[in-house]
Each structure stands twice: as C-alpha cells, then as structure tokens.
Amino acid sequence: MELAELVRLTFAEDLGPGDITTDSCVPTDAEGSGRIYAKQPLIVSGLLAAAECFRQQGVDLVAAVSDGDRVIPGQDVARISGGLQGILRAERPALNFLMRLSGIATHSALVVGAAEGKVRVVCTRKTTPLHRSLEKAAVRHGGGHNHRHGLYDGVMIKDNHIIAAGGITAAVRAARERVHHLVRIEVEVEDMEQLREALAVGADVILLDNMDDRGLAEAVAITGGRAQLEASGNMDAARIAALKDHGLDVISVGGLIHQARWVDLSLRLDP
Amino acid sequence: MELAELVRLTFAEDLGPGDITTDSCVPTDAEGSGRIYAKQPLIVSGLLAAAECFRQQGVDLVAAVSDGDRVIPGQDVARISGGLQGILRAERPALNFLMRLSGIATHSALVVGAAEGKVRVVCTRKTTPLHRSLEKAAVRHGGGHNHRHGLYDGVMIKDNHIIAAGGITAAVRAARERVHHLVRIEVEVEDMEQLREALAVGADVILLDNMDDRGLAEAVAITGGRAQLEASGNMDAARIAALKDHGLDVISVGGLIHQARWVDLSLRLDP
Amino acid sequence: MELAELVRLTFAEDLGPGDITTDSCVPTDAEGSGRIYAKQPLIVSGLLAAAECFRQQGVDLVAAVSDGDRVIPGQDVARISGGLQGILRAERPALNFLMRLSGIATHSALVVGAAEGKVRVVCTRKTTPLHRSLEKAAVRHGGGHNHRHGLYDGVMIKDNHIIAAGGITAAVRAARERVHHLVRIEVEVEDMEQLREALAVGADVILLDNMDDRGLAEAVAITGGRAQLEASGNMDAARIAALKDHGLDVISVGGLIHQARWVDLSLRLDP
Amino acid sequence: MELAELVRLTFAEDLGPGDITTDSCVPTDAEGSGRIYAKQPLIVSGLLAAAECFRQQGVDLVAAVSDGDRVIPGQDVARISGGLQGILRAERPALNFLMRLSGIATHSALVVGAAEGKVRVVCTRKTTPLHRSLEKAAVRHGGGHNHRHGLYDGVMIKDNHIIAAGGITAAVRAARERVHHLVRIEVEVEDMEQLREALAVGADVILLDNMDDRGLAEAVAITGGRAQLEASGNMDAARIAALKDHGLDVISVGGLIHQARWVDLSLRLDP
Amino acid sequence: MELAELVRLTFAEDLGPGDITTDSCVPTDAEGSGRIYAKQPLIVSGLLAAAECFRQQGVDLVAAVSDGDRVIPGQDVARISGGLQGILRAERPALNFLMRLSGIATHSALVVGAAEGKVRVVCTRKTTPLHRSLEKAAVRHGGGHNHRHGLYDGVMIKDNHIIAAGGITAAVRAARERVHHLVRIEVEVEDMEQLREALAVGADVILLDNMDDRGLAEAVAITGGRAQLEASGNMDAARIAALKDHGLDVISVGGLIHQARWVDLSLRLDP
Amino acid sequence: MELAELVRLTFAEDLGPGDITTDSCVPTDAEGSGRIYAKQPLIVSGLLAAAECFRQQGVDLVAAVSDGDRVIPGQDVARISGGLQGILRAERPALNFLMRLSGIATHSALVVGAAEGKVRVVCTRKTTPLHRSLEKAAVRHGGGHNHRHGLYDGVMIKDNHIIAAGGITAAVRAARERVHHLVRIEVEVEDMEQLREALAVGADVILLDNMDDRGLAEAVAITGGRAQLEASGNMDAARIAALKDHGLDVISVGGLIHQARWVDLSLRLDP
C-alpha cells in the first residue's frame, strides 16, 4: 500500500464521521504552529509518514532532522504550521507513526551495533501487517539491513517445501526453472548432510537455523565461500557480538522489529 | 476497516504477485494439517484475525482456546488443516497477528492486574494505525477496558480546544449543542480552578493529566461524585497499585499497547 | 465515506465512460460562469457537497450564503466559474445534492420549530444509505439535533436486546462493562415497571416509544431527573407542539429526513 | 456501483468499528426469525437490496411478494431467519432501502397512472447520488419507464451545448460523428424554428421543455412522426392526464423520484 | 475506471514496495529532461495516459503532437522534464501505454482506410480488459468509429437471446419495453426470413454476421433503408475495400484492436 | 492486483449499470451449457482468468486441457454450464482473456523454440498495464521464462542510473548496501571497459544491449563465467537461433508479449 493510502485509512479509522470535539470548539479559520520534539534519546524514523499525516490535513511539516538521525531529549524533530483544526487532527496519527518507527530504529541500532559492521544484520517477515515497508525502513534507519520484502522477491525453501518437493535437489531445481535470474535461492538446512546437498545443487544462500556455535563454524568451513550463509534463531545483541567474527554473511533477527517499544515524542503548540 | 479487508491487504503486502517458493515446490493438491502452540506463558488474542488469514487461503482453523485465555508453553492454541500451499502462505501473517495481539493482552494483564479491579484501567488512542480495533480488543482480552474508539465517539476537550473556544465553559457548551445526547463530554483540567469551572458547567468526565497523588486526592474531594474522574500520565503497574484506592473512576495507560512486545507462538505441521 | 469519495463515486455513476454529449459539442477550452439560485423559499444545505462536485471538475464555486441560511425565490446561493465542460458535468450532481439536502433542512425547520426550543428534536438512523453524515448535517442546518451516528457511538438497548440479555438489568450491566466511559446507555422501555428497572440499574437515557401523553407524563414524574427521557413514535409538528412542555429531554423524529421532498434550485449560465 | 458494494458501504457507515449494543447483549449463537410487513398500502421495491443486507449478515431472506407487487397493510413482504446478531444489524439498513424504494414505486404508480398507458412516462437524472440504478428500478416497479442512465448512454443536446457547438446543426453532426450507432441523439428546442432545424439535421428525439399545450400541439403537428417527441417541465398527474392524448411519445418527470416520501414497513421478530 | 486510477494501479503493479535501483543510485533532488520520439512511422495515441504517468511521478509532459497525428521516425512526440527519479519510474509505464495505443491507431488507420469513408468501420467488444476506453479512443485516432461501449449502452440481440426470448419479435418487444428511448435495438439475423421478421417488428439496426457478398446485397435490397445494416465476420482491409460500395451502414472489425502490434517509441534523456 | 479483482473490474467495465439485452430477453432461471474451443492451432493460456469470469457470474467451467497445452482447431478447451444470463455475460470477457493470453503463449513458443533450450529466453517489463502477471504466465506457458516482475524484485542499473550515481562501481555498491541479499544486481554495459568495471565490482548479471555478434562473443570471453550475461535488442527467432550457442545465459525479448496477436477461440452453446 502506498503511504498516502495508508495515512488516508489511518484518518478513516480515527476520524470516522468526524472529530466532534474540534468541530465544536475550534473555528475553521484558526491557525497555529508548533514543534515535535523528543522526550528521550532516540533515533528518528517515520518522518515521511508524519509529514503525510499533516499534509492530508492541510498542515506543513518542516523536518529539523533526517530519518536515521540520533536526537537528544528536548531536541526538535520537526516544526509544523497551518490550520489549528488540521493540527489537532493530525497530531495523534502522526505521533503514532513517529513513536512506533523511531522505537524500531532505536532498538535496531542497539542490536545491530553489536555486530560492529562485521556481519549484515537483517530483519525478517515478522512485521506488523500493512506496516512492513515502514518498519523495514526503520530498521535501515537504525543501521540494519533488510531480508526479502515478501514471498515474491526471494526464494526461501524451508523444511516443508523440501518435503513437498521431494528433497533439496528437486526443490532448488524447480525454483530455478520458475523464477527469474535476478532472484537468489535460499535453502534452510538442518545438518551438514543437507548443507552439502544444497551446495551441490548450487543454492545461492543457505539458512542455518538454530545451530549452536560449533555447528555454525562447521558450516562455514564446509561451505568455503561457495554460498552466502545466514544464521538465525533467538538472536540478540550478545549472541551477535559472539558470532560477528565467525565468517557468516548474514544474521537475521525478527526482534529488531517485534521486540521494540515505542519511544516518546510530543507535539507542543506555540503559545 | 473490516477484518476481512485488513487480512486481504496483509496478503497483498506479503504475497505481491505470488509466492514464488511455494508455487515452485509445493503441488497445488498437497494437503496438510498442524497446530499452533504457545512457546511461552501468554494470554491469547487475535484468534479471529488468524482464522481469517487461513480462511482466505482455503484452510480451516479450529481454535483450541478462546481469546482471553491464559495458556502455558507447549499448549495448543488452534489446529489447522487444508491445502499445503494455503497453510504455508497463511502461516506468517496469521502468526504476526497472533504474536502481536497476544503480546498486548499479556502485557495488559500485568498492568491492569495492579488495579485489583478497584479502578477501570483503559487504553488510549496511541495505537498502531489500522490495528486499533484489534488492539483494543486485545486490551479487553487482557482484562483492561477501552477509552473512546476515535475522535467521533466521545468528546475530549484539551488545553488547545479550551484556548480556541475561549474557555472551558464556552467549550463545553459548544460541544453539548453539537453532539448527540448519548456522548459524554470530557474536559482535561490542569488545576483546581479549571476543575471547578468544568464541574460548574456540567462536564461529564474530567481528565486529570500528570497530577501528583496530592493533586488527585484534592480533585476527588472537590468533585464529590459530580463527574467521573480519569487520571493519566506515565502510568505503570506500580503507580496504578498506589492509586487504586484513591477514588478515581478511570486510569488511562497508552503503554498497555505501545509498551507490549510480541510473544512467541509457532506453527508445526503434522508429520 | 469521505465527501470527496462520495462525490467521486457520484461522477462514476453519472459519467461512466464519458459525457458523450459534451465531449462532442463543447470545446475543451471553452470557459463559462453562472449562478445557482433558489426557485422557492428554502433553507440551504449541501454547499460543501456542491462545491466538491464543481471542484472535482475543475470549477470554482463561491458560496453566496451559508448552510442553514434561509433564502427567498430568485436569491443566489452560489456563483460558479471555470471550464464549460466541467460546469456542464458538475451541474446535475451538484444540484442533486443541494436540492435533496436543502429539502431536508427546510422540512426539518418546519417540524423542529414546533418545539420552540423547549425540547431537543433529533433525527434517527432512518437515513439514506451512504448519505447519513450529509443528512444529519442538513437536520442541524434546519435547527434540529442528531441522535447517535450509528451502532458504534451510543448504546440503545431495545426489546430484543433485553430478551436476549435476560432482562434490562443484565443488559445494562453487560453494556457498561463493554463500552467506554464516554458513551451513555439508553434503554427502550414499554411500561412503568421497565422504567423503574432501568432507573434502578442506572440507565443514562430512557426511550419512551409510542407512549400516549399520559404515559409520558407519568414517566417524567417517576424519573424525577435521574435520567434523560426521549420520546418517539409518529412524531410530527403538531404532536411536538403538544409535548414541548412535558419535561421531556429529547423527541426523535425519523421524518425530519424521510418525509422531506427535494426543493427547487437551478443553475443559470451567464450569457 | 454493484449492489453488494453499496450494501457493504452501508454497513461500514452504520456499524463503523462495531455494534456495541448487540455485541454486549446478544450471544453470538442466538438465533431468530421474523417477518417484514407493510404498515400502509404500498408498491414494493428494493427486495434485492434488503436481501443483500441480510445476506451480508448471514441471514436468509425469503420474499413473500415480488418487486412491483401492491401490498396491503399487515401483509408480509418477506420472512427472515438466522443469527439474532445479524438480524438486529441488518434490520435498519434493509428497511431504509425498502422504505425509500417502495416509496418511489408507490409515488411513481400514482403519477404514471394518469397517463393510462397512452404516453411513456419516464424519470430523469434527478436521482440520489449512488442510488440511481435502484431508484430507476423503483420507477419501473411503479409502472414508469426510464430515461438514459447517465451522460454516457444517450446524447442530450441542451441550450448551452448548442451555443458552444455553434448551432443545432453543428451540434447534431458533431455528436453523430462521435457516438456509436446504437445511441440516439436528442435535442432540446425552445421554439418552432429550432424544432425545424433539429428535424432537418435528423435529430432522433426532440425535447420540448416547459412548453404550453398549444406549443406542444404545434410541435407534434410540425414533426409529423419524423422524430420522437418528449415533453418535460413541472409535470404532475394532472398535467399528464391532460397531455396523454396529445401525440407525445414521452413525458419526463423528475418528481417520480424526488417528490416521493418513504412508506412504512416494519420488521417483527417471532416470539 | 478513470484514467488516474488506471495509472495508479499501473504503478502499483510495477513499483510494488519500491524502485530499488533508482532509490539506491539516483539522488532525490536530481533533475532531468528528455524527449519521447517515434522510431517508426506511426499514428499517435495515448498521450493522455502517458502524461498522467509522468504527472503522478511529479514530471511535466508537453506534447509535441496530438493524438491522431501521423509522425515519422525520429519525430518528437513529447518533451518531459522534472525529477530524475520520477522520469525513470514513469518511463516504462508511459511508453507501454503509448506503444500499445499508437499501435492500435496505426493498425486501425490501415484497415479503415480501405473503406474510403464510404462505410463506417467500427471496433467491437473484443478489447483488453480495463483498457476499453483507451483502445476505443485509439481506434478513433486511427480514423475508425466505435460500436457500443458495453452491455449497457446498446441492445444487441443475438441468436441465444432470440431463442431464450421465444423469437425475434418477442425479443425486440421485450427490449423496447425495458430500455430507454435513446438506445437503439440491434438484432443479429442469419437469413432473409429473420431479416424480414426483424424489420417487421421495427428493429433499429440489423447485424448481418458472416454473410457472403450475395447475402449482403440481398439484405440491403430487402431492407430498403428501413433499418441500419451492419456487417461483420473476418473483416480485413481487402474485404472492406470490396464491400465499401454495397450500401451497408457499418462494418465491425474486432481486429482493429486485437490484430494490432505495438509500435516503437523511445525516451531519450537530454545529456 | 489479484485475479478476482481484475475480473471484477472487467465486469464493471463491460456491464456498467446492467446488461440491458440479457435482462430484457433471458429469463433469470434459464440454464445452459456449452463449450469453448479453438478455431486455429494454438497454445492455451488464461484458463484461470476465464474460469474466474464464469465463476463470478455463477457459471461452472471445467477445463479440458491445461495452460501450456497445444490444441488443434476444433478441439475443446473447456466446458461451461450454469445460468444462461451468466453465460452470456461472461462469454466476451472470458474469451478476451483467453484469446489474448493464448496469443502470447503461441507467439512466445515460436520465438523461444529458436533457442532449442540452449539459452534462457525471457520477456521484459514491456507488458500491458495491469496484465503483467497474466502475460508473464503466458510466456511461461509458451516455454519462455520471465525477467524481474517489476522495479522491486531485481536491480537493473542502466546508463542514467550510472551517470546519476557517479559510475558503475558507485552504483553497484550503493545498490548492494540498500537491497537484500536474495536480489541480484544487473548492470547494463555499453562496451568492454564498462564490462570490466562491472565485473571488477562484482555485478551479478550484466546486460549487453544492442551489441553485435562480435561484441557479444568478446563479452563472453572477457566474463569467463564470473557473471551471468544477458543480451537484448531487437531479438527475434532468427537472431536467437544465431546466438543460441554463443555462451550467453539469457536473451530478453519484449516482443514475446508485444508482438503477439490474439488467436481465435469461440464459445458455442449446446442446442
């Protein structure tokens, strides 16, 4: 869904048939201005969504920082100005986007930082329905990377696919015949035998799920650079720090998104 | 947005032009069945959304528990059966709903429990865009209550409304003239003078934002039952426990929703 | 539905794949201007919808009066100017909105006037599908008030709800537990026994449907101000005039909307 | 708009985020049945819309009569059965369709009857936005006929088109070149000179707007069967009765639809 | 579907969650300009669609020619200027519209030219789903005419309708009763007996499908101007040239659209 | 867009406010059955779309062959049965899908066959707006393969991207940083110098556009298997036959889709 449509639906949800408080109390021609500022240290994400909220209510937003910037408590994130009715209607939806997404960026930075740039840390498909693009951008704002966006832009062959296809070799060949040549094929393996079969059939990426350190090391040695290696399974900052030098290419962490909490931002109108 | 439409858009996001892995590897007539179970103690929420995900992929879901039930690690939440392609496509979206919403129910139960039923604990409009109905239901599954659903089903007169309207008295009168007689009018007050003005004009509910214990006690005494009293501002379980006997009617806590993390559930196919 | 979307669908209905007359006969660069005026005495409603019709066709509308204003035959309601093709396309849809809604405002004023401001006269959920917000606004333009907007912003417990819930007391308690604290609970009662039960359980509003004058007077006496009282059932101007001093809070009249006929307005292009 | 979509939006309007009364008071598994019956003499229209309302709430509707049938007070129009929650939710929207459309059919029958079948009486584009197909069907159920459905399925050249095109002859030729050969071209004329020009260029239908009886008679004589003749302008039953033998082909009457009021129908649940 | 919506969906199809190449490589503030030019002789169609593609990406398009103009290889069709990201995103969709539609216009001109203006050559309902309006316009740009737009703006009674209705006479009468008076009724006939029945009941247009030259000539003679005659069935330029003087009114040719191939246009950015 | 939605919009386009012929002439309870058969040799594609057309009109379609099957003139492709009104309404849209898509499959088979399986022949983004998924499937049914589906599931760095990014090396690095690890990066090169730079920075796929045979051979030699090589530019069967042994990995041909014409299929009702 495009951002403009997402925001339109957000207002449909919140406004319904009308903002009965503002309609009653605020003249249609009243103007106002104000600032959105951080109430805790955080990394900003969601400025485009917030700006779109205000835009759809006829209010201008001028960003004071960029997505991905680190701000301190009290620092301005944006200034807004326009009709007072529009400001009051856009305030909550805009902050809901900003607080959620900045929370994800801030949390991602913590986890990703443990890798010290030595291994690519990526998020997964564990995202909030209809917010995937925004959440994946928030991960990037926090210094992380993304995995495939959905089921259509990457092949990930898991255990049930392997069983249904009749083995890793058959599954990889079927996928290669079907998909276009700009898409890589990833296979999830459970042991070294499966790893060897995946390498033999030319899998491009191999997912090592829930392996211990020893298993990961063995997989790296067996692979010898013939495929990209991705590790996953209950990854947090500590485990990533421990694994960052193991020669893995990618570590995937659903928690970049789903273990993040909202951070605190506020809008204050100018007196 | 209706649930069916929300789920339809969720699949549009994840499937895009097609699930290229499953299309390649899994025969269209392969059947399967399996179970969704908890991997940690949690309170269930989101069964309707999960069921709708499977339904839209032609898969049956039979719930083993109800929304609001407390389950233990390993306990089944639902059983599913149907086409294997559909199961594999619905798995991630269904779990994304279940894990998020059960996370909110579980977290809400913790916070709400501190009130020991002596004061109504409610969530706010700090919700994830397009997920408000589901999140508010999750709060109820965790034992909490809801505040107004949006800007259309309750009047909440805040400081900027008061300024724009020319005072509390004018604002309340304007709202009463405009809104229907089944909607109550709530006014946010900052001090005892404002409280007295709100009471005098017949406000139905009064919001005491960020007041300390002493202020809250004074407000309760002044009000003397003439209006409902709601307290808000950085409320957590400890503060709620401390306030539960103060004579307040409602405590509102945005964190019921925005400080919750996903809990862990998994889908396992039958061998 | 937002007004812009309602108008968009209105053009989809009328234009379909194209206005074959105007496309054939009117150059795309022809300009024009004109006036919309009343052809009978009426109260104006629908200016926003009419303006949106012209706006979507690239034509400016400048209102000469406001919604709720009383105008006389021949008086201008608005002036329009812009592309001639757009004017010709917007004319019929814009007038369809204006004539319908002004008809409702005009009829409402007649009925509501009978109350002489001594009792609040409100419309009901008997509205034209997809036009509820506009029709309810037209009632307000005619001096009336609204009832709840839909099933979501007010509780109205009717006979079948009472039976299903197991009595008035159970129904009111169930509703109070479920709904938020800014929503009032209304109960429809058929006799004084039910009225007493509703009062005892603390119903906020009580609907007295199809009661005769004597019954209404008795209900007012019993209630003694402990709840708001609403009367309904075949109400017209005469009955309202007769009841206006009975001490009722609200009289609800579906006919404000569904017994209104269109009034006559016309668009004339400047020579 | 398809009927199913119209009804879906109707529920979106009325239900919003949920029917808080029924959700609170009526068990999800409660069943019920009932009848929809007339409370005054009327001609039925809108059964498909009413049935769709109930169908979308999981309730069966079995019609007892057909659209276009005349029914007497107390006569059943349909029986319904299914879940009680669904019945209570569909009741109001379904009746809103039935009462409006039966009102149009009933009013149309009155007006159309005056023609005694000697001239075709048709409605116009003065219809309620988004309800045109239903309202035009209601006119047919009342014995009337329709005019073009919109701007795309018939050419109607009015005074402003004539001016913009540079005369009747130029306008008719431009339209004939542009439109397909199954669409007739109608021209509105103001006097006998215009009538002669329209006949000379081969207009298929000629609209005589607001002419008196003498003018209409002269137009019929001049035309001599070379084109269809349509009269319009403040037509009611009396004028139609007076004109029915004048040799006109069509009389168009916007009031078939816009001067109709709702008729009274009710739903009663079985005890 | 309106053009703006068609183009919006076109971008949804091509852009999905984002243009990952341009997002990576092209600064958001880079500007550019360029030209769209023909790479072969062709007749232009689709300028409005192409302009809408660029408009939705914030890019201006200034047409150098008009739809229906014949251009030579190397000739400019339009110039564009604006943000480079927008240009790169709109390029392919805009050219897809232009190349397809200009292909239809160019092919139509070839076929229609064979008629030398002596008989109206029209396209049919064999069109690409969702592109009918654009394709029918392309036929007009190539000098052809259109048939009815869909099932709603013309009556076409075919063999199965005749059987279901119980004969030509019954079918024509049923249609005339049902449809409005600006719509003509066409009947498909297989032989001279059916032709005579259709003429007797007053069919407005008669379709002679797959008749040989002798049959067509006989039909023209029998009809004697009492109805319009349309011939169809495997028509190409040669057959049209042969039939152009036979006295037919219309020849319908699905191949104007479905036998056209795309022509070649290209966009070149200014250095 | 999902297929069901595409078909729904297709009916909206063709049916508009109603099929006035069938509504007039065919009883709602008339039943029928029939066959869809080929009128020329062809390869079938589009069965799912055709089946969805009939399904949405309440008609069953049972396929007699599969997409990708080669059929001879007179051979059945499917049988249909159900309500006669539904059959008559679905006939044209269903055949429009089948004839177009089978035309693409049939044409693709001709072109792809020239490669004798020695090089992968793929289509491009030159597709009909909103029909891309169906057209790409038709290419596969004809034995071809697909390129990326849109701008989101593959990186294709063209000349303007290279200029904007400041060179091939910078562009590839920027893309690799931004996109996920299952997406390959393709670079379009114009000469051997660019090829060497692309290889040096590790481009995964290299596009050789409009190179002659000698250039292609040189590129293959230089590359030495370090990247996939794709050739494009005015490719037809003859050129593909000539290039099939050159060691290229992929040849891309827009004409698989845009040079295809519809093939002929027909629906005949059973007597």
> If pLDDT is split at 50, 70 and 90, which confidence band does C1 have?
confident
- Arithmetic mean of pLDDT over chain D: 97
Cβ A187 vs Cβ A227: under 8 Å: no
Among residues B39, B92, B261, B268, the one annotated as catalytic is: B92
Window D:3-32, CB contacts with B under 8 Å: 12, 16-18
- Interior angle at CA C141, CA C135 and CA C142, nearest 5: 95
Measuring CA to CA, how many Å separate D65 from each of B103, C256, D46?
Answer: 53, 30, 11
Q: Quick one: which of F118, F134, F136 has its CA closest to F254? A: F136
Burial D35-62 (b: 16+ CB within 10 A, else e): bbbbeeebbbbbbbbbbbbbbbbebebe
Told to judge if E213 belongs to the known catalytic residues of this protein, a careful annotator would answer no
> F1 pLDDT exceeds 90?
no
Backbone angles phi, psi at B5, to 5 degrees: -70, -40
| Interchain proximity B132–D17, CB inside 8 Å | yes
DSSP label of B233: S
Chain C positions touching B154 (Cβ under 8 A) are 180, 182-183
- The arithmetic mean of pLDDT across residues A173-193, rounded, is 97
Residue pointed to by tokens 């919700």: B127
Told to judge if B126 belongs to the known catalytic residues of this protein, a careful annotator would answer yes
Each residue's pLDDT tens digit, D60-105: 999 999 999 999 999 999 999 999 999 999 999 999 999 999 999 9
Residue pointed to by tokens 């056209």: E260
Chain C interface, best mutation among D151, D157, D265, by max C CB count within 10 A: D151
Question: Going residue by residue through chain E (271 aa), what tens digit of pLDDT does each one get?
Answer: 899 999 999 999 999 999 999 999 999 999 999 999 999 999 999 999 999 999 999 999 999 999 999 999 999 999 999 999 999 999 999 999 999 999 999 999 999 999 999 999 999 999 999 999 999 999 999 999 999 999 999 999 999 999 999 999 999 999 999 999 999 999 999 999 999 999 999 999 999 999 999 999 999 999 999 999 999 998 999 999 999 999 999 999 999 999 999 999 999 999 8
Asked if E255 has any chain D CB less than 8 Å from its own CB, the reply is no
Residue positions of F annotated with a catalytic role: 92, 126, 158, 188, 209
Ranges assigned E (strand) in chain C: 31-38, 42-43, 59-63, 70-71, 76-83, 120-122, 155-157, 185-189, 205-209, 228-232, 250-252, 265-269
pLDDT on residue E19: 96
Each residue's pLDDT tens digit, E25-65: 999 999 999 999 999 999 999 999 999 999 999 999 999 99
> D269 pLDDT exceeds 90?
yes
Decide: residue D135, CB within 10 A, 0-12 exposed, 13-18 middle, 19+ buried.
Answer: buried
Chain A positions touching E18 (Cβ under 8 A) are 133
**In chain B, % of residues over pLDDT 90:** 98
> C63 pLDDT exceeds 90?
yes
| Interchain proximity B149–D12, CB inside 8 Å | no
Q: Residue D86: what residue type?
A: G
Each residue's pLDDT tens digit, C95-122: 999 999 999 999 999 999 999 999 999 9
- Arithmetic mean of pLDDT over chain C: 97
Each residue's pLDDT tens digit, B96-105: 999 999 999 9
Contact partners, residue F152, CB within 8 Å, separation at least 6 = A149, A153, B16, E15, E16, E17, E18, E19, E20
| Cα dihedral D173, D178, D183, D189 sign | negative
What's the rounded Cα separation, in Å, for the pair D88 and D91?
5
3-state SS class at B154: coil
3-state SS class at B146: coil
- Closest chain A residue by Cα to residue B156: A21
What's the rounded Cα separation, in Å, for the pair B132 and A13?
8
pLDDT on residue B175: 97
Measuring CA to CA, how many Å separate A89 from each of A56, A84, B152, F50?
Answer: 10, 9, 11, 46
Interhelix angle B84-113/B3-15, nearest 10 degrees: 120
Q: Quick one: which of B183, D33, D94, D75 has its CA closest to C160? A: D33
Q: What is the dihedral of CA D204, D209, D213, D217, to 10 degrees?
A: -20
Specify the pairing of strand E120-122 against strand D76-83. Answer: unpaired
3-state SS class at D269: strand
Residue pointed to by tokens 């709430």: D57
End-to-end CA distance of chain A: 38
Structure tokens at A196: 């060897």
Chain D positions touching C152 (Cβ under 8 A) are 15-20
| Interchain proximity E133–C17, CB inside 8 Å | yes
Told to judge if C158 belongs to the known catalytic residues of this protein, a careful annotator would answer yes
> If pLDDT is split at 50, 70 and 90, which confidence band does D50 have?
very high
DSSP label of C65: S
Asked if B182 has any chain C CB less than 8 Å from its own CB, the reply is yes
Each residue's pLDDT tens digit, A15-45: 999 999 999 999 999 999 999 999 999 999 9
Interhelix angle C84-113/C132-141, nearest 10 degrees: 60
| Cα dihedral F190, F191, F192, F197 sign | negative
- Closest chain C residue by Cα to residue D153: C20
- The arithmetic mean of pLDDT across residues B11-23, rounded, is 95
> If pLDDT is split at 50, 70 and 90, which confidence band does A197 have?
very high
Chain A positions touching F148 (Cβ under 8 A) are 180, 182-183
pLDDT on residue C133: 97
Each residue's pLDDT tens digit, B104-144: 999 999 999 999 999 999 999 999 999 999 999 999 999 99
How many beta carbons lie within 10 A of that of residue A117, not counting itself? 10
> If pLDDT is split at 50, 70 and 90, which confidence band does B234 have?
confident
> F271 pLDDT exceeds 90?
no
**Residues, chain B:** 271
Question: H or E element: which one contains C99?
Answer: helix C84-113
What's the rounded Cα separation, in Å, for the pair B209 and B232?
5
Q: Quick one: which of E107, E120, E109, E149 has its CA closest to E132? A: E149
> If pLDDT is split at 50, 70 and 90, which confidence band does A271 have?
confident
Specify the pairing of strand A228-232 against strand E59-63. Answer: unpaired
Each residue's pLDDT tens digit, F77-98: 999 999 999 999 999 999 999 9
pLDDT on residue E117: 95
pLDDT on residue B220: 97
- The arithmetic mean of pLDDT across residues B184-209, rounded, is 97
> C131 pLDDT exceeds 90?
yes
What's the rounded Cα separation, in Å, for the pair F269 and D269?
46
Among residues C126, C176, C184, C226, the one annotated as catalytic is: C126
Each residue's pLDDT tens digit, F165-209: 999 999 999 999 999 999 999 999 999 999 999 999 999 999 999
What's the rounded Cα separation, in Å, for the pair F97 and F105?
12
> If pLDDT is split at 50, 70 and 90, which confidence band does A202 have?
very high
DSSP label of F259: T
> If pLDDT is split at 50, 70 and 90, which confidence band does A234 have?
confident
Backbone angles phi, psi at A118, to 5 degrees: -90, -15
> C271 pLDDT exceeds 90?
no
ipTM score here?
0.96
DSSP label of D114: T
- Closest chain B residue by Cα to residue C141: B178
pLDDT on residue E1: 83
Window D:69-108, CB contacts with C under 8 Å: 84, 88-89, 92-93, 95-97, 99-100
Backbone angles phi, psi at A39, to 5 degrees: -110, 5
Backbone angles phi, psi at E87, to 5 degrees: -60, -45
Among residues E209, E218, E249, E264, the one annotated as catalytic is: E209
**In chain F, % of residues over pLDDT 70:** 100
